[in-house]
Structure 1
Amino acid sequence: MEVVPPRRAGRPGRSGRTPAPALFARLVALNGLVYAVGTAVLALSPATVSSPILVTEVPVLLVGLLVIVGAHALLLRRSLAPLDALTALMERVDLLRSRDRLADRGNGDLTRLIATFNAMLDRLEAERTATSADALAAQEGERRRIARELHDEVGQSLTAVLLGLRSVTDRAPDELRADLLTVTETVRSGLDEVRGVARRLRPDVLDELGLTSALSALTGEFSEVSGVPVSRSVPAEMPALSKEVELVVYRIVQESLTNVARHAGATAVRLAVVLTRGELTVRVSDDGRGGTSAEGAGIRGMRERALLVGGDLDVAHPRSGGTAVTLTVPLGEGTTA
């Protein structure tokens, strides 16, 4: 008994033709159609060709040739037009900017080629998203581990040193007390920096108090360190968001504020969080010098994070100046402001 191998998913059931033979068949058919019509017109028309050809018959032959060539070119152009759009999509496609697909508008034998290319993009984006999710999960796990070690080990060691210095300072002679106080303040400052690094690596306030409080603490710390005021427009009560969405929003706002501090030279920053039906929009804008069209690792990292929750990230440079980073995350139809 002959065993028929199963047909692969996604292939048309009626025909096993690949795009190349199908396109070849279409071109042959178009050529035949054009030549057949041309032959019929010449056969049925009153025009005749003498032997030898008369001078008066030359214009008739030239017009007929031009009509045939023109009709042939028009039909071929319409048949091959999707290839131009497909080439343009190949040149501009970016897996970090999803949903860029070529529409199928009844392109005949090229329909399968377009569908296959779109399916390839879907598969590549899914694989990239899965890979990015694994990498970012590992990164968050490493940040959590380092933050815990900084807090539990380095932080406790510095705390013990600080308490010992205070005890020594209380018993030290007056000529050494000033120097000991200076060392004590240095250790206290180092302890605060260690705690700040641990807090930025893994924001405990995000797990304990939620996204609103975490964003408030983040913008407050940014203003304190950079001296740039941040105006906030954040809903007092957020709907129930997944841990992944909260972490993505927090990290993107954190990276945006870091870019402002490093590159923008801004005098004011605005954070706006807007909830509409089924969508969360987070926008960080500044009045600084703006940016360039080239995207660095920071912005590409933000795009990867946005894709993890099915969101879109837009980085714009308004004519009024500055930079605006906008994150849009779908939340489901049941979510309201």
Structure 2
Amino acid sequence: MSLFWRIFTLNALVLGTATALLMSALVTVSVPVLLTEAIILLAGLAVMLVVNAILLRIGLAPLDRLTHLMSEVDLLKPGQRLSVPAKGDVAELIRTFNAMLDRLEAERATASARVLAAQEAERRRIAAELHDEVGQSLTAVLLDLKRAADRAPDPLRAELGQARETTRDSLDEVRRLARRLRPGVLEDLGLVAALTSLANDFAAHAGLEVTRHLEPGLPPLSRETELVIYRIAQEAMTNIARHAEATHAELALHDTPEAVVLDIVDDGQGIGPVREGAGIRGMRERALLIGAALDIRPGTASGTRVRLTVPTPEQGGKP
């Protein structure tokens, strides 16, 4: 029965019941209406309204659930679907909405993959330019300053030495930025070595005490999966350094029978309810690319915990 005929039938049943009572000898109406008759009529009207409201609430409950899901659905949290009734207009509407979510999630994943691939390509290009162009230029400046300092008188030699130190610091910073943009250690030595380098880098430059618990011998992971794990760890550590006001962070990577798990915990001020800024949404998009689950919540005592759970290939993750 369609939704129209369902509502029509409910109202017809209520009105038909009222008409039958009026036509029977059980209920009569005088002219003018007596007080007792008015009370009976008002009580009957109240009963009819309550019964009609209950029946309509039952009939329209699937639409209420659909409206609630439509207002809260988030494509970065896939899998939100409604159970479909056996038949009827509402069932067809819910099936159509679920199918629309399937298409939107697939298209979002494809678009995110293209965007992130272009972003990685741009990072590699910028890293190469920093290393080859800016790095070589600063190296040439260092050599020129050394030659000038060797020929300069003593008062000027000290100033040239200070300029050399400043240039050397700038060269080190350019190289560090190039490594962050294009993690060559990830390609050359693997994920554990790359995360170790990342933790050491943040400990040295952000003033954080970083504890590492990185298990060797992880299940084989694709290069895309390793890159996603590295980038999410990098973004989480960057957020700690910029916003958490933390003194200690813990970076852990281990495997379970079902998944590889990345845990990053800090002792900072915490985040309260998670604010879905560009950084967190980017982390969620990366996690979706490999079928992983990203959970961000307050830490046990203080601070924030970021957990990425990557299913192993046998459990449905990407090989």
Instruction: Decide: shared fold, TM above 0.5.
Output: yes
Structure 1 residue 304 and structure 2 residue 282: aligned? Answer: no
Q: Could you say which residue in structure 1 is the equivalent of 2:122?
A: 142
CA distance in 2 between counterparts of 1:84 and 1:334 reads 35
Q: Could you say which residue in structure 2 is the equivalent of 1:133?
A: 113
Q: Could you say which residue in structure 2 is the equivalent of 1:257?
A: 237
The gaps in structure 1 that reach 5 residues or longer are: 1-20
CA distance in 2 between counterparts of 1:84 and 1:162 reads 70
CA distance in 1 between counterparts of 2:96 and 2:65 reads 15
CA distance in 2 between counterparts of 1:195 and 1:128 reads 35
Q: Could you say which residue in structure 2 is the equivalent of 1:184?
A: 164
Of 199, 208, 215, the residue aligned with 1:219 is 199
CA distance in 2 between counterparts of 1:42 and 1:29 reads 20
The C-alpha deviation readout for 1:51-88, integer Å capped at 9, x for no partner, is 74896777766665555444333221111012222222
CA distance in 1 between counterparts of 2:134 and 2:39 reads 95
Structure 1 residue 324 and structure 2 residue 305: aligned? Answer: yes
Q: Could you say which residue in structure 2 is the equivalent of 1:13?
A: none
Q: Secondary structure at the match of 1:291?
A: coil
So what's the TM-score if we normalise by structure 2?
Answer: 0.86
Of 62, 67, 73, the residue aligned with 1:93 is 73
Bigger shift: 261-270 or 25-34?
25-34
Taking structure 1 as reference, are residues 126 and 48 closer, same or farther at Cα in structure 2, changes over 3 Å only? same
Mapped contact 1:82–1:107 kept (Cα < 8 A): no
Q: How does 1:31-110 map to 2 (within 5 A)?
A: 31-34=11-14, 48-50=26-28, 52=30, 66-106=46-86, 108-110=88-90
CA distance in 2 between counterparts of 1:51 and 1:171 reads 121
Q: Could you say which residue in structure 2 is the equivalent of 1:24?
A: 4
What displacement does 1:277 show? Answer: 2.6
The C-alpha deviation readout for 1:177-228, integer Å capped at 9, x for no partner, is 3223222222211111111010011110011111110000001000011121
Q: Secondary structure at the match of 2:250?
A: strand
Q: Secondary structure at the match of 1:99?
A: coil
CA distance in 2 between counterparts of 1:185 and 1:109 reads 75
Mapped contact 2:22–2:28 kept (Cα < 8 A): no
The C-alpha deviation readout for 1:227-283, integer Å capped at 9, x for no partner, is 211111221122211121111111111111111111111111011223223322212
Taking structure 1 as reference, are residues 268 and 36 closer, same or farther at Cα in structure 2, changes over 3 Å only? same
CA distance in 1 between counterparts of 2:163 and 2:121 reads 34
What displacement does 1:31 show? Answer: 3.0
What displacement does 1:128 show? Answer: 1.9
Bigger shift: 177-186 or 236-245?
177-186
Q: Could you say which residue in structure 1 is the equivalent of 2:294?
A: 313
Mapped contact 1:234–1:274 kept (Cα < 8 A): yes
CA distance in 1 between counterparts of 2:167 and 2:39 reads 99
Q: Could you say which residue in structure 2 is the equivalent of 1:272?
A: 252
The gaps in structure 2 that reach 5 residues or longer are: none
Mapped contact 2:21–2:27 kept (Cα < 8 A): no
Mapped contact 2:212–2:251 kept (Cα < 8 A): yes
Mapped contact 1:290–1:321 kept (Cα < 8 A): yes
Give 1:308's aligned amino acid: L
Taking structure 1 as reference, are residues 108 and 67 closer, same or farther at Cα in structure 2, changes over 3 Å only? farther
Taking structure 1 as reference, are residues 179 and 47 closer, same or farther at Cα in structure 2, changes over 3 Å only? same
Aligned length: 314
CA distance in 2 between counterparts of 1:202 and 1:228 reads 23
Mapped contact 1:143–1:202 kept (Cα < 8 A): yes
Mapped contact 1:239–1:335 kept (Cα < 8 A): no
Taking structure 1 as reference, are residues 175 and 67 closer, same or farther at Cα in structure 2, changes over 3 Å only? closer
Taking structure 1 as reference, are residues 155 and 82 closer, same or farther at Cα in structure 2, changes over 3 Å only? same
Q: Secondary structure at the match of 1:328?
A: strand
Q: Could you say which residue in structure 2 is the equivalent of 1:158?
A: 138
Q: Secondary structure at the match of 1:96?
A: coil
Give 2:292's aligned amino acid: G
